[in-house]
């Protein structure tokens, strides 16, 4: 019962997308790109004057996110991708609500 005598020493917390111990550069890049594009579409969707950019980025993030989800390997990648897909969808919806793909 050594755990009763003191705290258990464990590895320090590290944020990583490679929980299986292998490097997945393509999958990680797509996961981070999907999240970044989705976040940009989400933020730009709140500005009426940026409706074209928000709608376009949202569609790119949504389509790219679906492909990234298809080839993803680890659970943290999938979590980041889903957050990006949802943000892309909301950004697209807000962009379409503010004028969509029109240039005016």
Inter-CA distances, 16 with 20, 61, 69, 77, 95, Å: 10, 22, 17, 9, 32
pTM: 0.85
Domain ranges (residues) in the chain: 38-104
Phi, psi values for residue 28, rounded to 5°: -65, -40
What tens digit of pLDDT does each residue of 30-85 get? 999 999 999 999 999 999 999 999 999 999 999 999 999 999 999 999 999 999 99
């Amino acid at each position: 019962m050594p755990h009763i005598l003191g705290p258990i020493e464990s590895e320090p917390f590290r944020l990583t997308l490679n929980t299986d111990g292998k490097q997945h550069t393509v999958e990680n890049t797509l996961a981070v790109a999907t999240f970044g594009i989705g976040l940009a579409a989400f933020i730009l969707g709140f500005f009426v004057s940026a409706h074209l950019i928000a709608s376009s980025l949202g569609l790119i993030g949504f389509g790219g996110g679906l492909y990234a989800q298809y080839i993803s390997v680890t659970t943290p990648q999938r979590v980041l991708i889903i957050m990006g897909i949802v943000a892309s969808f909301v950004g697209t919806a807000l962009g379409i609500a503010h004028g969509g793909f029109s240039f005016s």
